[in-house]
Amino acid sequence: MREVAIIGVGAHATGQFTEKALKDLAYTAIWNTLDDAGAEPSDINVAYVGNSLGGLLTGQEGVRGQVVLQHSGITGIPVINVENACASAATALRGAWLEVASGAADVALAVGVEKMFVGDSARTISALSAVSEVDLSEMGMQFTTSYAIHPKINLKGKMAEYGWTSADFAKPAVKNSFNGSLNPLAQHRRPLSIEQVVQSRIVVDPLTLFMCASISDGAAAAIVCPVEMAPRFTSKLPVRIASCVLRSGMYRLPDDGFTDSATVSAQAAYEEAGIGPDDLNAIELHDAMAPAELMLYERLGLCAPGEGPRLIDEGITTLSGRIPVNPSGGLCSRGHPVGATGLLQIAELVWQMRGEAGARQIEKRPKVTMAQNQGGLLLGQDSAVYGVTILKT
C-alpha cells in the first residue's frame, strides 16, 4: 500500500443556511478544497461522498454524490455514495485513502455534506433517529437518551460510579465553546460558562441543551494523493494518513466483559500508526453530547477511568494545553452536520498541523493528531459505527 497524503481541505461554514441546498453547501467545500490543493476537477480520479439524511430531508436519494459533484463541475469519474451515520464523512475519507493507497487512483476526493435545516425541526429530529436501528427509533429512543442512560455510556450512571457532577458534564462544553468562539466557521461562537451550561434547559436528564450538538447545515472535503505526488499540486505541508480505521459495534450482552468499541477502534488506529495516546498533539473527537468527551478521554487512552474532568481542570485538553481536544469547537460549538462532521474534523486538524488555524491555532503546531467519530445505535446495545483517523506530518 502506498503512503497517502491529504493535500487539500475545505469546508462550508456550519450553521443555518436556509437558501442553500445540499449541492450549494458541497460546492463551497469542494472548490475550497480544490483551490487549497491547487487541483482542477480533471485531476480527480474518484470521489467518495458521505451524507446521511439527504434522502429523508431533501428527497434526494440514491445519487447524492453525483448530484453535488455535477454542480461543482466534476463528472464521469467513479462516485461512491457512502453512508455511516455520524461517521459518514470519515467513511468517505477512508474510501479515498484506500483508492490511493491501493494504486486504484492517484487523486481521490472525499466529501461530506448535510442539510438539516429544512423548516421543520420535528422532521429533522425524526430523521436523526432513523440513523439508529428503526426498532429503537420507533419506540421513541433518541441519541440524547442513549447518551444519558444507554449501558454503553450511561452518563447518568457515571454520576454515581465516578462521582461526576453536572458541573463536570459542563466542562467540555465550556472548553469547546471557547474554542468555537475563535472559529469563523463555527455555528455557535459564544463562549459559555459552567453556569450557563448547567442552567440551560434539561433535554434528557442529566443532559442540558448546551451539552448537546444542535441541528446544522454544513459540508467539508479533502483531497488525497500519494505522498510523493503532493508537491505536484501544492507547496503546502502534506499531511499523511497514518491510519484510517473503521469498525462496527459488537452485539453486547450484559456483563460480557467486552472492551468498549471506541477503545477497540482507537487501539487499532494506534497500532496501525505505530503510536500511542501520548504521541498525540491534538484531537478532534465526537462530542455529540459534550459529556461524552469525558468518557472518550478514557476510551482513547488519555486518562484512567473517571479522570476526565481532571484533564480539563488541569488545562491538559484546552487550546493551550499539552493535548488540545476539539480545537475547532467540537460538535456542540463548531456544529454537527451529521454527514459532514468527520471531514470537518479532518479539515480542522490539517489547518492546525499547517499552522493555518488563525485565532484558535495551537501554539506548538501539532505533528500527530487524531479524528474520532461514532454513531447510530443498534439493538445489539452498541453504536453501529466507529471511525478513527490518525494524521502525521
Partner 1 sequence: MNILHPSSIFVPTDAKQTPCLLGARCDECATVVFPKMPVCPACQTNGSMREVQIGRTGKLFSHTIARFAPKGFVAPFFQVFVDLPEGPRIFALVGAECPVEAGVLEDGMDMRLVLEPLADTPENSDLLTYKYVPAGRPEQRTSGHA
Binding site for partner 1 (CB under 8 A): 27, 31, 34, 40-42, 70-73, 75, 122-123, 125-126, 129, 135-142, 144-145, 148-151, 154, 156-157, 201-206, 251, 253-254, 379-381
- Contacts with a copy of itself by CB under 8 A: the residue count is 63
Q: Tell me, what amino acid is at 61?
A: E
Q: Tell me, what amino acid is at 81?
A: N
| CA separation for the pair 75, 302 (Å, rounded) | 43
Among 35, 76, 305, 359, binds a copy of itself (CB under 8 A): 76
Q: Tell me, what amino acid is at 128?
A: L
| CA separation for the pair 180, 331 (Å, rounded) | 10
140 vs 184 by CB, closer to partner 1: 140
Q: How far is the CB of 357 from partner 1 (least distance, A)?
A: 25
**Which partner from the list a copy of itself, partner 1, none does 64 bind, CB cut-off 5 to 8 Å by kind?**
a copy of itself
Nearest to 53 by CA among 102, 110, 5, 123: 123
| CA separation for the pair 87, 346 (Å, rounded) | 12
Cβ-contact 82, 48 below 8 angstroms: yes
Among 1, 122, 139, 160, binds a copy of itself (CB under 8 A): 1
**Which partner from the list partner 1, a copy of itself, none does 102 bind, CB cut-off 5 to 8 Å by kind?**
a copy of itself
Among 82, 212, 346, 391, binds a copy of itself (CB under 8 A): 82
Nearest to 308 by CA among 300, 317, 297: 297
| CA separation for the pair 167, 174 (Å, rounded) | 10
| CA separation for the pair 47, 65 (Å, rounded) | 8
* Local structure of 24: helix, strand or coil: helix
Interacting residues with a copy of itself between 369 and 388 (CB under 8 A): 375-376, 378-380, 382, 384-385
Q: How far is the CB of 65 from a copy of itself (least distance, A)?
A: 8
- Positive or negative: CA dihedral 170, 174, 179, 185: positive
Query: Where does 236-302 have alpha helices with state H?
Result: 261-273, 292-299
64 vs 175 by CB, closer to a copy of itself: 64
Q: How far is the CB of 44 from a copy of itself (least distance, A)?
A: 11
Is residue 286 flagged as an active site residue? no
Nearest to 375 by CA among 155, 129, 14, 171: 129
Is residue 225 flagged as an active site residue? no
77 vs 194 by CB, closer to a copy of itself: 77
**Which partner from the list a copy of itself, partner 1, none does 334 bind, CB cut-off 5 to 8 Å by kind?**
none
Pairing label, strands 368-377, 282-284: parallel
Task: Considering only the stretches 56-64, 215-223, 285-293, 366-374, report the one whose residues sit in contact with a copy of itself under the rule CB under 8 A.
Answer: 56-64
Cβ-contact 359, 182 below 8 angstroms: yes
Cβ-contact 112, 219 below 8 angstroms: yes
**Which partner from the list a copy of itself, partner 1, none does 26 bind, CB cut-off 5 to 8 Å by kind?**
none
Sheet of 217-226: strand order equals 46-50, 108-114, 217-226, 4-15, 239-248, 383-392, 368-377, 282-284
**Which partner from the list partner 1, a copy of itself, none does 79 bind, CB cut-off 5 to 8 Å by kind?**
a copy of itself
Q: What are phi and psi of 218, to 5 degrees?
A: 175, 170
Catalytic member of 12, 188, 286, 336: 336
- H or E segment and range at residue 47: strand 46-50
Letters for 98-127 (x = contact with a copy of itself by CB under 8 A, - = none) are xx-xxxx----------------------x
**Which partner from the list a copy of itself, partner 1, none does 378 bind, CB cut-off 5 to 8 Å by kind?**
a copy of itself
**Which partner from the list a copy of itself, partner 1, none does 27 bind, CB cut-off 5 to 8 Å by kind?**
partner 1
Cβ-contact 331, 287 below 8 angstroms: yes
Q: Does 134 bind a copy of itself (CB under 8 A)?
A: yes
Q: Does 69 bind a copy of itself (CB under 8 A)?
A: yes
Q: What are phi and psi of 242, to 5 degrees?
A: -80, -30
| CA separation for the pair 321, 319 (Å, rounded) | 6
**Which partner from the list partner 1, a copy of itself, none does 95 bind, CB cut-off 5 to 8 Å by kind?**
a copy of itself
Give the residues lining the site for a copy of itself (CB under 8 A): 1, 52-53, 55-56, 58-67, 69-70, 75-85, 88, 91, 94-95, 98-99, 101-104, 127, 130-134, 137-138, 245-251, 261, 264, 375-376, 378-380, 382, 384-385
Return the active site residues.
86, 336
